[in-house]
Each structure stands twice: as structure tokens, then as C-alpha cells.
Amino acid sequence: MAKQKYTGPLERIDDVSWRIPKSYREGMRVDGIVYADDALLDLIREDQALEQVANVAYLPGIQSASLAMPDIHWGYGFCIGGVCATDPAEGGVISPGGVGYDINCGVRLVRSNLTRADVEPVKTQLVEELYRQVPTGTGRGGKYRFSHDQLRRLMGEGVGFLLGRGLAVESDIEHTEARGCLPGAEPDLVSRRALQRGFDQCGTLGSGNHFLEVQVVDSVHDERAAAAMGLKQDQVVVLIHSGSRGLGYQVCDDALKMLRGAPAKYGIELPDRQLVCAPIESPEGQEYIGAMCAAANYAWCNRQLLMWQARECFETIFNRSWEELGMSLVYDVAHNIAKFEEHQVGDQQKRVWVHRKGATRAFPPSHPETPAAYRQIGQPVIIPGDMGRASWVLVGQDGSMQHSFGSACHGAGRVLSRTAAVKASQGRRIDQELAERGVIARARSWKGLAEEQPDAYKNVDLVVNVVDRAALAKKVARLRPVGVIKG
């Protein structure tokens, strides 16, 4: 799609939210709601992501509004940063474009008892060890190999499958969203081609915006919440960002082909064929959900194995066990997923399918799905930024349940396409520029670093400020990168 600015209507609701009225286009069933301040809105208007917010409002069974988080940018079908809920009792649909190709792409944060002073003298050696031991890059396999039968078990059981193989501990499961396993997974619906792509990729980082970063807690904004998560000033942590790799991509690709004729079959009119969908209760809808849940479980296992390898690398460098190093999981959250959840819609309590495409769950204190350790503060919300500036840890707030189906943003959001970022990097050494900022970076190619350079992203601090001011999630701690590996 040629890059065009959004020129449609936007009505201010307050300092950090805007409305695209459903009167904008005939066929919109609900308004669009966008979370942004004035500065971010200027960036958001630069592409057609806001048109995609309006497009999503056409989906049958959509509830309340088509939502966009402040990291919104153009994507496939839904914008990245898009959220919507559909009610199966009202003919609600499921749409792969509302989940994305990288099913259950997400992040997990690992704490340690190391400080910046402990890591600084061995920072380069640590990053090199991570780069040697953790598989990165497009299509690259790793040391964990699973037969088709084992993969089916893994996709059905999630991280619990790895617990039985000595590659996870119970606290890892307790601190993973949905305990690392979506119910309703149907591994037999995952194609042989997807299994072939996934047999050796569980425990690999991949490419694109996926990364493993060594970070330092740069500042603490909520002492109570930070203490509950075991975070403190100058502490070293590890942030891991990856998803379901080639298996998840193939599941999405297979579903898009399978669903191609579904809108016409069920009398669904769409403004964009990338929003291809099917009623949740239809055979086609159920087939996608079963395969999507299986791929989501694969992704949680992938991040678990990536964390396991990171722990082993720290053990090598510091000559202590990961338990002695205090390398326990703070939390793992999904970014690209659809989940069946209970929410208040108007004056009714409903079970709805919440699509989060580049968005993070942000459940508040006391929510039954918030882990017991965080029940008093809210679910951890982990928002990575770019590799030159910062990432953030927040906790979900009641406002997310009132306004965004328990959701917040998932990152900073791109402002440059990968092509534009590469063009802007000609003649530059991104790794040297990062080194001048105190960040050791290793990647499979110059292009990989160029595509993900800091200038390709919005300033995550500005994005997080909107989330905090909108009361979707509350700031807890800012994390600064000191080492990064990428594909």
C-alpha cells in the first residue's frame, strides 16, 4: 500500500483519547477509539492505520469500539496496536488479521540479583556468549528438536510439556500469561508444513524486531509494585522478545487461505479483504481458533526455552547456577493473540473474544487471572522500546477493564518502515552508534540492525506516558539496555 496520510475525522475525547465516529463510513457498527496525545497523533496520521481502525469497526459482533493503542501503525488487516472484542452470541467473528502472522509474539522479563557493577566488566563477554549459544536469524534452527508427535503434545500442553522434560520449573508457569497454555488448542489442525517449519525452531529467536536484551533498571516509579516484582534500581534483568516462528506464520497463512470464501458464505461484507474472518461458532472459525491456540502454546514454549538458554549463558559467565543468580521469571505476556475473556460491556457481563494485535493484556489488581504474587498490584505489563533507549514495566489498572477490554500497548511502534530504516542507515555503523550509548549489539547482518535502529521507532517514554495517563496501566520501572542480540 502506498503511504498516505489519514484525512478522516478525529474528535477529541480528552488529552489522551480520540474518536473516529461510526458516522464516518456507512457500515461501521461502532466508533473507533484511539489513545494518543497531540504529539503522537501527528505521527499516527502519517499512514493509513487509522483507516484500519475504522475498517475493524465493520466486523460482525464487535463490542463497544474498535480500539487503537498509542503505538499504533499500519499492519495486515488490523493496525498494529489494534484491539477489538466480538461476541459469539451476536454473530461475532474471529479474524486472523486481528492476531497477526506471528501468533503469540510476546515478551518475558527475567530478574537477577546482579547489579550493573557486576555485569559491566564482563558485558562484552556476556553478549558474545548469548550470541554464540542462542540461535538467531531467519529460518535458523536450534538444539531442541521435536518429532511431530512431540510437537503435538507441546502445542497441546504448552509450557507444562517442558516442565516434564526438566526445561521449566513451576514458578515459570505461574508467572506466564494463561500459565503458558491456552485451552482449546487442537494440534491435529496444524498442517504438516507448519510442523516441518517448527520442529527445530522452538528455542530460537528469529529475526525482525525479535531480540534478547540485557538491561539495567534505570529508574523506579512505584516502589511497592517494583518490590512485589523483585525489581530495584541498578539491577540487571533480561528481556526476551519472540513468538511462534515459522510454525505460527504457517498457521496464519493456512488460515487465511482456508477462510478466503467464508465472508461470502456467511454474508459478511468487509471494507478490506485482509480482514477475512468467520463466525466464531462456524466450523471455519473453530478450525482457526484450534490451530491458533496450538501455535500460541508453541510460542510460550519458545520463549521458555530461550530463557532457559539465557540462564545457561549467565551460569557460564558468572560460574554460578541460575538459581544462585536469582534469575526467576517476573512475567511473560502475549502481544498477538485472541482470547475468550469475561468483560463488562455496557450493563452486561459478557464472554467475548478479545483480539489483541500488537497489544498487551493489562488486568488490574484483584483480577482472578492476575498471578497471586501480583494480585495486590495488578498484572505486570512489559513494554519494550528500541535497543538504544529504554523499555518499561507497568501494572494493569482498573481503567483498562473500563475502556480497553483489559489491554494496553505492546511497544513503541514504528515510525519508519524497514525499507526506510535501511535507507536512512546507508554509510552508518549502527553497532558503533549503539556502543557509544553503552549498548553492545550483535546481529546476523548489518541490515538487521539497520532495520531496527532506534530512529525507526517512536520514543517509548512518550507512548508509555499516554498509557499511564489514560489509566490503562501504571508506570513501575524504566529499563535501559546494555547488551542486545538480534537476528
Q: What is the DSSP letter of 234?
A: T
Q: What is the DSSP string of 161-211?
A: HHHTTTS--HHHHHTBGGGG--TT--GGGS-HHHHHHHTTTTT---STT-E
Residue-range domain boundaries for the chain: 11-486
Strand boundaries in 283-429, DSSP class E = 329-334, 336-345, 348-357, 359-361, 380-383, 391-396, 407-409
The torsion angles phi and psi of 13, rounded to 5 degrees, stand at -95, -50
- Tens of pLDDT, residues 362-397: 999 999 999 999 999 999 999 999 999 999 999 999
In this model, does residue 89 exceed pLDDT 60? yes
H or E segment to which residue 100 belongs: none
The chain-wide mean pLDDT, for the chain, equals 96
Question: Which H, E and C letters describe 61-78, residue by residue?
Answer: CECCEEEEEEEEECCCCC
C-alpha cell of 58?
465493520
Residue 94: all three cell numbers together: 474471529
Query: C-alpha grid cell for residue 152?
Result: 503435538
Residue 252's H or E segment, with its range, is: helix 245-258
Q: What pLDDT, in 10s, does the model give residues 343-366? A: 999 999 999 999 999 999 999 999
Determine which helix (DSSP H) or strand (DSSP E) holds 83, and give its type and residue range.
Answer: strand 80-86
Residue (of 102, 106, 99) closest to 84 by Cα position: 99
CA-CA distance, 172 to 169, in Å (whole number)? 5
Give the strand pairing for 278-279 and 31-35.
Answer: unpaired
CA distance 342 to 5: 36
Q: Mean pLDDT across the stretch 438-456? A: 89
Q: What is the mean pLDDT of residues 391-404?
A: 98
Find where cell 512475567 sits: 331
The phi, psi pair for 142, rounded to 5°, reads -130, -165
Is 2 a residue whose pLDDT tops 70?
no
- Mean pLDDT over 42-51 rounds to 94
Q: What is the pLDDT confidence band of residue 140, given thresholds at 50, 70 and 90?
A: confident
For residue 39 the three cell numbers come to 504529539
Grade residue 138 by pLDDT with cuts at 50, 70 and 90: confident
Strands 236-242 and 348-357, bridge-based pairing: unpaired
Do the Cβ atoms of 71 and 413 come closer than 8 Å?
A: yes
Q: Which entry of 73, 175, 367, 410 is annotated as an active-site residue?
A: 410
**Phi, psi for residue 219 in degrees, rounded to 5:** -160, 150
Whether the per-residue pLDDT at 176 is higher than 60: the answer is yes
Distance separating alpha carbons of residues 175 and 293, to the nearest angstrom:
19
When pLDDT is cut at 50, 70 and 90, the band that residue 3 belongs to is: low
Residues 211 and 409: beta-carbon distance below 8 Å: no
Is the domain 11-486 a CATH 3.30.1490.20 member? Answer: no
471: left (phi over 0), alpha (psi -120 to 50) or beta: left
Q: 342 phi and psi, to 5 degrees?
A: -100, 130
* Dist. CA 86–CA 354, nearest whole Å: 7
In the prediction, which pLDDT does 476 show? 98
Catalytic residue check, 148: no
Let me know: does 186 contact 283? Beta carbons within 8 Å: no
CB neighbours of residue 86 within 10 Å: 25
448: pLDDT strictly greater than 90: no
Q: pLDDT value at position 1?
A: 44
CB atoms within 10 A of CB 331: 23
Inform me whether the pLDDT recorded for 125 exceeds 80.
Answer: yes
Task: Name the DSSP letter for residue 272.
Answer: -
Please state which of the ranges 177-186, 207-216, 428-437 shows the lowest mean pLDDT. 428-437
